[in-house]
Amino acid sequence: MPGASSPVADPMKLSTGSQSPAADPPRPTPAMLEAAYQQLMAFRELPYLSELTLSLLHKFNNVITGVIFLTEDGMSNTKPGDPVYERLEEIALTLRTSLDSIQQVTRLHLNEQQDDTSFYALEGIIDDELPLLSQLLPKNTKVHFSHGSEPTPVYGSRRAIAEILMHLVGNAGEALSRQNAAIWITIQKHGEESAVSLRDNGPGLSPEVQDRLFTPFATTRSATGHAGLGLYRARMLARKMGGELSLSNHYEAGAEAVLTLPQSAPDTAS
Protein backbone atom coordinates (compact mmCIF):
# COMPACT_ATOMS: atom_id res chain seq x y z
CA MET A 1 0.00 0.00 0.00
CA PRO A 2 1.54 3.35 -1.02
CA GLY A 3 2.76 5.41 1.93
CA ALA A 4 2.44 2.52 4.37
CA SER A 5 5.34 2.25 6.79
CA SER A 6 7.37 -0.93 7.09
CA PRO A 7 6.76 -3.03 10.19
CA VAL A 8 9.12 -2.21 13.07
CA ALA A 9 10.12 -4.47 15.94
CA ASP A 10 8.43 -3.69 19.24
CA PRO A 11 10.94 -1.50 21.17
CA MET A 12 9.65 -2.88 24.48
CA LYS A 13 10.54 -6.39 23.42
CA LEU A 14 14.00 -5.24 22.40
CA SER A 15 14.66 -3.46 25.68
CA THR A 16 13.28 -6.12 27.99
CA GLY A 17 14.79 -9.08 26.14
CA SER A 18 11.50 -10.99 26.11
CA GLN A 19 12.76 -13.26 23.35
CA SER A 20 13.67 -16.75 24.49
CA PRO A 21 17.37 -16.98 25.36
CA ALA A 22 19.51 -19.35 23.34
CA ALA A 23 20.02 -22.72 24.95
CA ASP A 24 23.43 -23.37 26.48
CA PRO A 25 25.64 -25.48 24.22
CA PRO A 26 26.00 -29.10 25.36
CA ARG A 27 29.01 -29.89 27.51
CA PRO A 28 31.67 -31.75 25.51
CA THR A 29 32.04 -35.42 26.37
CA PRO A 30 35.45 -37.07 26.87
CA ALA A 31 35.03 -38.72 23.46
CA MET A 32 34.41 -35.33 21.82
CA LEU A 33 37.48 -33.84 23.53
CA GLU A 34 39.65 -36.75 22.47
CA ALA A 35 38.44 -36.45 18.88
CA ALA A 36 39.26 -32.73 18.92
CA TYR A 37 42.69 -33.50 20.30
CA GLN A 38 43.40 -36.09 17.62
CA GLN A 39 42.39 -33.58 14.95
CA LEU A 40 44.69 -30.99 16.54
CA MET A 41 47.57 -33.48 16.55
CA ALA A 42 46.94 -34.24 12.88
CA PHE A 43 47.58 -30.58 12.08
CA ARG A 44 50.51 -30.43 14.50
CA GLU A 45 52.31 -33.29 12.85
CA LEU A 46 52.26 -31.81 9.36
CA PRO A 47 55.84 -31.74 8.08
CA TYR A 48 55.90 -28.00 7.45
CA LEU A 49 55.41 -27.30 11.16
CA SER A 50 58.53 -29.27 12.02
CA GLU A 51 60.41 -27.49 9.26
CA LEU A 52 59.23 -24.11 10.56
CA THR A 53 60.30 -24.98 14.10
CA LEU A 54 63.73 -26.13 12.94
CA SER A 55 64.13 -22.99 10.83
CA LEU A 56 63.38 -20.72 13.80
CA LEU A 57 65.68 -22.68 16.09
CA HIS A 58 68.44 -22.40 13.49
CA LYS A 59 68.01 -18.61 13.38
CA PHE A 60 68.13 -18.33 17.18
CA ASN A 61 71.17 -20.60 17.22
CA ASN A 62 73.02 -18.31 14.81
CA VAL A 63 72.06 -15.12 16.67
CA ILE A 64 73.12 -16.47 20.08
CA THR A 65 76.36 -17.85 18.66
CA GLY A 66 77.14 -14.39 17.25
CA VAL A 67 76.43 -12.68 20.57
CA ILE A 68 78.64 -15.21 22.39
CA PHE A 69 81.48 -14.37 20.01
CA LEU A 70 81.08 -10.63 20.64
CA THR A 71 80.85 -11.18 24.40
CA GLU A 72 84.01 -13.29 24.54
CA ASP A 73 85.77 -10.76 22.30
CA GLY A 74 84.89 -8.08 24.85
CA MET A 75 86.29 -10.31 27.62
CA SER A 76 89.64 -10.47 25.79
CA ASN A 77 89.98 -6.70 26.24
CA THR A 78 89.49 -6.88 30.01
CA LYS A 79 91.10 -8.88 32.81
CA PRO A 80 89.69 -11.48 35.24
CA GLY A 81 88.55 -9.76 38.40
CA ASP A 82 87.40 -6.68 36.54
CA PRO A 83 83.63 -6.09 37.11
CA VAL A 84 83.09 -5.77 33.35
CA TYR A 85 84.91 -9.07 32.73
CA GLU A 86 82.81 -10.86 35.35
CA ARG A 87 79.57 -9.47 33.91
CA LEU A 88 80.55 -10.51 30.37
CA GLU A 89 81.53 -13.95 31.65
CA GLU A 90 78.10 -14.33 33.28
CA ILE A 91 76.38 -13.26 30.04
CA ALA A 92 78.44 -15.76 28.03
CA LEU A 93 77.57 -18.58 30.43
CA THR A 94 73.86 -17.75 30.23
CA LEU A 95 74.00 -17.64 26.45
CA ARG A 96 75.77 -21.00 26.28
CA THR A 97 73.09 -22.52 28.50
CA SER A 98 70.42 -21.13 26.17
CA LEU A 99 72.33 -22.48 23.17
CA ASP A 100 72.43 -25.92 24.75
CA SER A 101 68.66 -25.80 25.32
CA ILE A 102 68.06 -24.82 21.69
CA GLN A 103 70.18 -27.73 20.49
CA GLN A 104 68.25 -30.16 22.67
CA VAL A 105 64.88 -28.87 21.43
CA THR A 106 66.24 -29.20 17.89
CA ARG A 107 67.04 -32.82 18.60
CA LEU A 108 63.45 -33.42 19.72
CA HIS A 109 62.08 -32.06 16.44
CA LEU A 110 64.75 -33.41 14.11
CA ASN A 111 63.63 -36.48 12.19
CA GLU A 112 60.32 -36.36 14.07
CA GLN A 113 58.66 -38.62 11.53
CA GLN A 114 61.26 -41.37 11.95
CA ASP A 115 60.70 -44.23 14.37
CA ASP A 116 63.41 -44.15 17.04
CA THR A 117 61.97 -47.04 19.07
CA SER A 118 64.82 -49.07 20.52
CA PHE A 119 66.49 -50.11 23.77
CA TYR A 120 67.77 -47.31 26.00
CA ALA A 121 69.07 -46.73 29.52
CA LEU A 122 66.77 -44.41 31.47
CA GLU A 123 69.74 -42.88 33.28
CA GLY A 124 71.31 -41.77 30.00
CA ILE A 125 68.12 -40.15 28.73
CA ILE A 126 67.58 -38.20 31.95
CA ASP A 127 71.23 -37.13 32.16
CA ASP A 128 71.03 -35.78 28.61
CA GLU A 129 67.75 -33.95 29.18
CA LEU A 130 68.41 -32.46 32.65
CA PRO A 131 69.96 -29.20 31.37
CA LEU A 132 66.84 -28.49 29.31
CA LEU A 133 64.43 -29.76 31.97
CA SER A 134 66.04 -27.49 34.57
CA GLN A 135 65.05 -24.48 32.46
CA LEU A 136 61.40 -25.35 33.18
CA LEU A 137 61.85 -25.07 36.96
CA PRO A 138 62.03 -22.00 39.19
CA LYS A 139 65.52 -20.61 39.60
CA ASN A 140 67.63 -22.38 42.25
CA THR A 141 65.34 -25.43 42.35
CA LYS A 142 67.23 -28.37 43.85
CA VAL A 143 67.10 -31.41 41.57
CA HIS A 144 67.81 -34.74 43.31
CA PHE A 145 68.47 -37.53 40.81
CA SER A 146 69.16 -40.98 42.23
CA HIS A 147 69.56 -44.39 40.62
CA GLY A 148 71.49 -47.62 41.02
CA SER A 149 74.91 -48.46 39.63
CA GLU A 150 73.51 -50.69 36.87
CA PRO A 151 71.74 -49.13 33.85
CA THR A 152 67.97 -49.42 33.83
CA PRO A 153 66.77 -50.65 30.42
CA VAL A 154 63.61 -49.52 28.64
CA TYR A 155 62.20 -50.28 25.22
CA GLY A 156 60.51 -47.30 23.60
CA SER A 157 60.97 -44.02 21.77
CA ARG A 158 63.72 -41.84 23.16
CA ARG A 159 62.05 -38.73 21.77
CA ALA A 160 58.71 -39.67 23.33
CA ILE A 161 60.32 -40.33 26.72
CA ALA A 162 62.05 -36.94 26.59
CA GLU A 163 58.77 -35.23 25.71
CA ILE A 164 56.96 -36.96 28.59
CA LEU A 165 59.66 -35.75 30.99
CA MET A 166 59.27 -32.21 29.66
CA HIS A 167 55.52 -32.27 30.31
CA LEU A 168 55.98 -33.65 33.84
CA VAL A 169 58.77 -31.29 34.83
CA GLY A 170 56.91 -28.35 33.28
CA ASN A 171 53.83 -29.10 35.39
CA ALA A 172 55.96 -29.47 38.51
CA GLY A 173 57.66 -26.16 37.78
CA GLU A 174 54.30 -24.39 37.58
CA ALA A 175 53.29 -25.75 40.99
CA LEU A 176 56.52 -25.04 42.84
CA SER A 177 57.12 -21.88 44.83
CA ARG A 178 60.33 -19.95 44.24
CA GLN A 179 61.56 -20.62 47.77
CA ASN A 180 63.04 -23.98 48.77
CA ALA A 181 61.73 -25.61 45.57
CA ALA A 182 62.91 -29.17 44.99
CA ILE A 183 62.16 -32.21 42.86
CA TRP A 184 63.27 -35.82 43.25
CA ILE A 185 63.80 -38.07 40.23
CA THR A 186 64.14 -41.77 41.02
CA ILE A 187 64.62 -44.79 38.75
CA GLN A 188 63.62 -48.31 39.76
CA LYS A 189 62.99 -51.73 38.25
CA HIS A 190 59.72 -53.56 38.84
CA GLY A 191 59.79 -57.03 37.35
CA GLU A 192 59.79 -56.65 33.56
CA GLU A 193 59.11 -52.92 33.76
CA SER A 194 61.27 -49.92 34.55
CA ALA A 195 59.87 -46.87 36.30
CA VAL A 196 60.93 -43.27 36.71
CA SER A 197 59.18 -41.22 39.39
CA LEU A 198 59.22 -37.45 39.66
CA ARG A 199 58.16 -35.91 42.96
CA ASP A 200 57.99 -32.24 43.92
CA ASN A 201 57.50 -30.39 47.20
CA GLY A 202 54.65 -28.24 45.90
CA PRO A 203 51.12 -28.01 47.30
CA GLY A 204 49.97 -31.30 45.79
CA LEU A 205 46.79 -32.05 43.84
CA SER A 206 43.32 -31.01 44.95
CA PRO A 207 40.46 -33.54 44.50
CA GLU A 208 38.99 -31.37 41.72
CA VAL A 209 42.27 -31.41 39.79
CA GLN A 210 42.79 -35.15 40.31
CA ASP A 211 39.41 -35.94 38.76
CA ARG A 212 40.40 -34.40 35.41
CA LEU A 213 44.18 -34.71 35.29
CA PHE A 214 44.30 -36.58 31.99
CA THR A 215 41.27 -35.00 30.32
CA PRO A 216 42.26 -33.13 27.16
CA PHE A 217 41.82 -29.33 27.31
CA ALA A 218 41.32 -29.42 31.10
CA THR A 219 43.60 -26.88 32.77
CA THR A 220 43.65 -24.63 35.81
CA ARG A 221 46.11 -22.26 34.10
CA SER A 222 44.22 -21.14 30.98
CA ALA A 223 44.98 -17.51 31.83
CA THR A 224 48.69 -18.18 31.27
CA GLY A 225 48.17 -19.75 27.87
CA HIS A 226 48.06 -23.43 28.80
CA ALA A 227 45.81 -25.55 26.58
CA GLY A 228 45.50 -28.44 29.02
CA LEU A 229 47.00 -31.03 26.66
CA GLY A 230 50.37 -31.81 28.25
CA LEU A 231 49.43 -34.58 30.66
CA TYR A 232 46.94 -36.11 28.24
CA ARG A 233 49.57 -36.28 25.52
CA ALA A 234 52.19 -37.58 27.98
CA ARG A 235 49.98 -40.51 29.01
CA MET A 236 49.04 -41.17 25.38
CA LEU A 237 52.75 -41.41 24.49
CA ALA A 238 53.41 -43.69 27.47
CA ARG A 239 50.60 -46.07 26.50
CA LYS A 240 51.71 -46.06 22.87
CA MET A 241 55.03 -47.48 24.09
CA GLY A 242 53.23 -50.13 26.15
CA GLY A 243 53.71 -48.25 29.41
CA GLU A 244 51.61 -46.18 31.78
CA LEU A 245 51.65 -42.80 33.48
CA SER A 246 50.05 -42.02 36.83
CA LEU A 247 49.98 -38.89 38.98
CA SER A 248 48.96 -38.65 42.62
CA ASN A 249 49.82 -36.97 45.91
CA HIS A 250 52.94 -38.23 47.65
CA TYR A 251 52.54 -39.45 51.22
CA GLU A 252 55.10 -36.91 52.46
CA ALA A 253 54.23 -33.79 50.45
CA GLY A 254 53.69 -32.57 46.93
CA ALA A 255 52.69 -34.52 43.84
CA GLU A 256 54.37 -37.58 42.33
CA ALA A 257 54.27 -38.72 38.71
CA VAL A 258 55.29 -42.30 37.88
CA LEU A 259 56.14 -43.37 34.34
CA THR A 260 56.44 -47.12 33.79
CA LEU A 261 57.85 -48.56 30.55
CA PRO A 262 58.57 -52.11 29.35
CA GLN A 263 62.14 -53.38 29.41
CA SER A 264 61.62 -55.59 26.36
CA ALA A 265 60.01 -55.34 22.97
CA PRO A 266 56.43 -56.70 22.94
CA ASP A 267 57.32 -59.73 20.84
CA THR A 268 60.24 -60.74 23.07
CA ALA A 269 58.69 -60.13 26.50
CA SER A 270 58.42 -63.33 28.49
Q: Taking residues 120-138, what's their average pLDDT?
A: 89
| pLDDT of res. 269 | 45
**Of the listed ranges 49-58, 77-86, 91-100, the one predicted with least confidence:** 49-58
* Distance in angstroms (rounded) separating the CA atoms of residues 12 and 137: 58
**Of the listed ranges 49-53, 201-205, 224-228, the one predicted with least confidence:** 224-228
**Of the listed ranges 54-58, 125-129, 147-151, 180-184, the one predicted with least confidence:** 54-58
Digit-coded pLDDT (tens) for 231-259: 888 898 999 999 999 999 988 888 999 99
Share of the chain above pLDDT 90, in %: 26
Greater pLDDT, 120 or 16: 120
| pLDDT of res. 225 | 44
